Amino acid sequence: MKPLVSMDSFDRPPLKVVINGREIQYLNFSRPKTCHKSPIVFLGGAFQKFHSFKKDVELLSDVHPILLVDLPGFGSNSDTGSDLSFEDLADILCQFMDQMGIEKITPVASSFASAIAFSYASKYPNRTEKLILGGTTPKVRESIRLLLEESIISVNEGKIEEFSAGIVLNLLNFYRRHEIKGSQLLQQGLYRNMMKLEALELCRYEASTRRLLSLEKLPEGPTCETLILVGEYDNFTTPAECFEVARMCPNSTFGILKNADHISTCENKKLTSKLYKKFLAGVPINGTSGVKVFNRSEYPVMIQRLEPRYEVDDLTIIEGSGSFFPVNIVNISTAGIMLNKSMSGDLPIGNRNLKIRLPYKELEMELFLVDDREETVRGIFKRYNFGQCKELEEFVRFIAVQSNGFCDAA
């Protein structure tokens, strides 16, 4: 790689190459003393652009060359990549490295891009030095699938305010905002950015989301050294899901970052950069302040659920399509609700226009019904209104005080 050390590159148009008709945008940074090493390649997640990695470049370019890459469907790339799978994108990344004359890389990716990096490292082990992932999952769980599908519907119906609020409320952990340093400022900034998205950017989001929703399973786990990090309050790709991915990789290190959520690498770049440097240098990250490291056999079951559920035992009504269904609330959290449906019989599972009345200040929440069983059904709250979510938060706090205690019901 040609040595580039000037941060002015962020203020210039990105470099571009075209491979088999697909555009790839990139910036490269290296110092003379490190330009002989294999580069770190940052792949952006949803809504991340090259400026998102400016601090990473400042903190890491002294130890490795750095490439920032926008594949089709990511960053500012005009190619939405709507027809490309994760494996296709991994192939394009490899072809890009061929064109750049680079033999091996260490991909770094989180969230929407993590499956690309995973696929690359799995398919091209001889072209992968190490692998670093954050906020990843082996498969989108049902509750997140429904919320992501709802976000696409909001975009297609032109409900940009609902879409923007929903991105913040679902991607980040709104209910832990007081425990995450800078979280409220990040949430406000993300909301403002979502409100400014142009048509092409919304098309990129829809394409990336549909690609994520189509993910049935990840390929065989990469054999290279792999570091997987997750925020302890990540409710989009939970610590339990990230640990599943770590267990797929035979040579993995798994760390939970304290007081962080899905964008943990943005919330504490100094810590994540320190962990990256140690990992790249072959130094164990155990004992680093701010991260708890687990091996492949000791992940504690008790933290697989992020939000506690509280017993309620109160009668209420579900409304949908002009019909009313009496149900009894079994337990509740800020994410959803468990209901006993024995009084109503069959409920309209799959109906996207359901509301439930909560016995608190006439609060109504829209919800999806999932996990339909003989006597119970689980409800997932829709989240696209900040004021409503604050009211729900107050209600759950009230229930927590009144409740007989934490409910372990599955």
What's the pLDDT at 302? Answer: 45
Give the lowest-confidence range in 38-42, 139-143, 309-313, 399-403: 399-403
> What is the dihedral angle through the alpha carbons of 303, 304, 307, 312, rounded to the nearest 10 degrees?
-100
Whole-model pTM: value is 0.93
Q: Which of 7, 8, 59, 64 is nearest to 31 (CA)?
A: 64
Give the burial class of 139: count Cβ atoms within 10 A of its Cβ; 0-12 exposed, 13-18 middle, 19 or more buried: middle
CA atoms within 13 Å, Cβ hemisphere of 380: 20
Partner residues linked to 227 by β-bridges: 132, 253
Q: Regarding predicted confidence, which is higher, 24 or 344?
A: 24
Q: Report the CATH fold assignment for 309-407.
A: Thrombin, subunit H (2.40.10)
Residue whose pair of structure tokens reads 């652009």 in the numeric block? 49
Domain ranges for the chain, please list them: 7-141+211-303, 309-407
Q: Which of 79, 70, 67 is nearest to 46 (CA)?
A: 70
DSSP states of 105-172 as a string?
BEEEEEGGGHHHHHHHHHH-GGGBS-EEEES--SS--HHHHHHHHHHHHHHHTT-HHHHHHHHHHHHS
Sign of the torsion angle spanned by Cα atoms 357, 363, 369, 374: negative
Average pLDDT over residues 197-214: 95
Q: Would you place residue 160 in the very low, low, confident or very high pLDDT band (cuts 50, 70, 90)?
A: very high
Reduced to 3 states (helix: H, G, I; strand: E, B; else coil), residue 336 is strand
Q: Which superfamily does CATH assign the domain made up of 7-141+211-303 to?
A: Alpha/Beta hydrolase fold, catalytic domain (3.40.50.1820)
Q: What is the pLDDT of residues 259-307, one digit of tens each?
A: 999 988 788 899 999 999 999 999 999 999 999 998 777 765 545 556 8
Please report, for residues 67, 68, 80, 272, 326, the alpha-carbon distance to residue 30 in angstroms, rounded to integers and kept in the order given.
9, 12, 29, 20, 64
Partner residues linked to 26 by β-bridges: 15, 69
Alpha-carbon distance of 403 to 349, in angstroms, equals 28
Q: Is the Cβ–Cβ distance between 110 and 135 less than 8 Å?
A: yes
